[in-house]
Chains A and B, each alone.
Chain A
Amino acid sequence: MQTTLTETEARDLRALVGQMIPASATYKVPGADDDLIFADILKGLERDTDDARTALKQLATLSGGPFADLPADRRAEVAASFKTEGGAPLFALNRVVLLCYYRDDRVMHSLGQEPRSPFPKGHVVEQGDWSLLDPVKKRAPIYRKVP
């Protein structure tokens, strides 16, 4: 079983992820086809490699050849079809793309998030207004008595 993508598959995948999540000047974020993010995607395929290859094979079929070689407008059409027809293999592939994209420092900064692990700093959660419970405290027991 092949554990990495072929050059053609990788090229198609890069073109596809650029369709999925393109760069945005408005939000100052790279696309998923950015060098660093795409390298992370390739590395992150791991146990989803088989599904990725199945999905890419279907993409090539829909494209009538390498997806990456299609002109831009045709790519968008094929990608739209693929999104509805790709099924579980595409879902697995899309998940890897999102796993890698939304941990990129630049993307996280754009979302107002600190690019760090949760531990050890943790987070602050406000205690909130405990007086909200006052009406509930006045209720009689609501559990059912047993004989």
Chain B
Amino acid sequence: MNEKVDVLIIGSGASGAAVAWSLADTKMRILCLEQGDWVKPTDYPSNGRDWEARLFSDFAINPNRRARETDYPINDANSPIKVVNFNGVGGSTIMYTAHYPRLHPSDFKVKTLDGVADDWPIDYETLEPFFAENDRMTGVSGLAGDPAYPAKQPPMPPIPLGKSGQRFGTAMNQLGWHWWPSDTSIATVDYEGRGRCLNLGHCTPGCAQGAKASTDITYWPMALRAGVELRTRARVREITVDNNGMATGVIYYDAEGKEQFQAAEMVIIACNGVGTPRLMLNSQSGKFPNGVANSSGLVGKNLMFHPYAFTYGYVDEPLDGNHGPPLCLWSHEFYETDKARDFVRGYIFQFGRGMGSIVEAISSTAAGRLPWGEDHHKVYRSLLNHRIYLAGICEDLPEEHNRVTLDPVLKDSDGIPAPKIDYTVGENSRKMLDHAHTRAEEILKQAGAHTVFREHVPNSGWHLLGTARMGTDPERSVVNEWGRCHDVKNLFIVDGSIWVTSGGVNPTSTIQALALYIADAIKQRLANATLFE
């Protein structure tokens, strides 16, 4: 029998780690259940000669391809965008590219400003101190003074421009368009026990140097030292509730596959935009026959990705290839709504350096550029290290038909029903994608690309948002303005599923700032004994 804890957190990724660390100073007994394992730095692909090959096996970005014991399958057949994630201590911060922009102030007020979707019940100013705290904890590199944002001060200098960055910067200046070195969660100098970036060039599937911030090396060491318990190989099946509609704990499967019950005074879900609705929909009871805290019927609905306008070209001069962090610059030139366009809202561009030798060969073969036979070698040499690319991260407006449900057949290795994704790219997003592709082609040509290509990248569902949205109206939202479920007063959600709209930036920075904000709200209400009122 597991002893009851005060706080039970489900998931140890971006938001779970942040909320665990923040709540640790309450001296409550805090337990985090994580379905995956710790990943050792020596496990990461960049330690070996097969570093690129492992992107297609045990470090594949898509969980269906990766298929580790600790992964759960996802039926994404009815979605042109496939889910990307990682299950382990650190969650998907293990498997991301460390591009770390914040949402803009306008992102929280889209209904007011543009008459679409809904406003958030909080704003940028509310989150600002938590952005700053998270930047310190995570270790963010960047450059102050970006005209695309209110003032902020990244604690480390930016990653190098390199040949590719200079080429893009020059082109953007010629076009008169905004660009700036990206905020990245990569240590460019030694930082809080982490070594500085060595330009391994293979950031996405984990950093052997530890320069990339994943929460297993940022928040977790501090949370554990402060007394938080982290239990791995603990896959939660459901959240249990009592007759009063209060959460009593969770049922989970341990490393041996044995069913366990863990009682808790309060439960915090941190499984992100697919894992969270899956868990809630699997938590059915007499009180909540359609899934816990789902009286609104919105759990799983309004799934938002960021449609990804990937565009690339080839130049004559050899550039950086895959050396250095892949994403080095951003542009917010097309971020805010412009009434002259045929869509509302906007997107950032993230600028990339190039590809590794194997990925170049595979993608060029798939695109029909790289022939078989005698010409293979000559053509390949004209491609390798000559690629530059950029991608528009397009804001995806919430639409209820885009959703996560439970698959009637597919189950994980513990027999828990798997999630099913139904998703289509909306009309506004399609127009935005086209705009982004067109602008990207102009940029690439200005940067000297002699040939340019647009590409749909199926495995681009990194950003999983909106499936348990935040709001003040219990009929139109799942959690309130400080992350507590309307229906269950001791159940909280802190991950990307509570986002009201998606913005047009990579979400990790804002997800973590939100988690810190909710932890702060919990602490304030604990102090005045109003937490469960």
Contact = CB atoms under 8 A, between A and B. Distances in A.
Interface in B132-168: 143, 145, 147-150, 159-163, 165-166
B35 to A, nearest CB: 21
B49 A125 contact: no
Interface stretch (B105-113, B427-435, B479-487): B105-113
Q: Which 8 A-B pairs have the closest CB atoms?
A: A128-B161, A122-B198, A125-B324, A123-B323, A119-B208, A118-B200, A144-B106, A118-B46
Nearest to A135: B173
A84 to B, nearest CB: 10
Nearest to A116: B49
B376 A123 contact: no
Interface stretch (B22-30, B51-59, B297-305): B51-59
A115 interface: yes
B147 to A, nearest CB: 5
B148 A143 contact: yes
Contact of B198 (A94, A123, A137): A123
A102 B52 CA distance: 10
Contact of A120 (B108, B209, B336): B209
B169 interface: yes
Interface stretch (A3-11, A22-30, A56-64): A22-30
B116 to A, nearest CB: 14
A147 interface: yes
A139 B324 CA distance: 28
B422 interface: no
Given A100-B53, A128-B162, 20 more contacts: A19-B372, A20-B373, A24-B377, A44-B53, A99-B53, A99-B56, A117-B47, A117-B51, A124-B323, A125-B162, A126-B161, A127-B160, A128-B163, A130-B161, A132-B169, A133-B169, A136-B147, A142-B147, A142-B335, A143-B150
Interface stretch (B259-267, B361-369, B441-449): B361-369
Nearest to A98: B361
A1 interface: no
A19 B159 CA distance: 42
Query: Which interface residue of A19, A27, A102, A135 has the most chain B CB atoms within 10 A?
Result: A102
B101 to A, nearest CB: 12
A19 B147 contact: no
Given A128-B162, A137-B145, A26 B377 contact: yes
A144 B173 contact: no
Contacts, number: 175
A20 to B, nearest CB: 5
30 contacts: A21-B376, A29-B377, A91-B366, A98-B365, A99-B52, A99-B53, A99-B362, A115-B49, A117-B46, A117-B51, A118-B201, A118-B202, A119-B198, A122-B201, A123-B199, A124-B323, A125-B160, A128-B163, A128-B165, A128-B169, A132-B169, A133-B180, A137-B147, A142-B147, A142-B148, A142-B178, A142-B333, A143-B106, A143-B336, A146-B109
Nearest to B48: A117
B258 interface: no
Interface in B54-102: 56-57, 67
A122 B49 contact: no
Contact of A98 (B165, B179, B358): B358
B192 interface: no
B111 to A, nearest CB: 12
Give the size category of A's interface with B: 35 or more
B56 A95 contact: yes
A99 B54 CA distance: 9
Nearest to B365: A94
B166 A102 contact: no
A54 interface: no
A39 interface: no
Contacts of A140: 147
Given A76-B373, A144-B113, A147-B109, A123 B324 contact: yes
B147 A103 contact: no
A119 B161 contact: no
A102 B358 contact: yes
Interface in A29-51: 29, 44, 46-47
B382 interface: no
A141 interface: yes
Contacts of B57: 46-47
Contacts of B165: 128
A100 B49 CA distance: 10
Contacts of B104: 143-144
B463 interface: no
B216 interface: no
Interface string B229-262: 0000000000000000000000000000000000
Contact of A144 (B163, B337, B358): B337
B52 A139 contact: no
B320 interface: yes
A125 B181 CA distance: 15
Interface in B347-406: 357-358, 361-362, 365-366, 372-374, 376-377, 381, 384
B50 interface: yes
Contacts of A115: 49
Interface string B5-46: 000000000000000000000000000000000000000101
B170 interface: yes
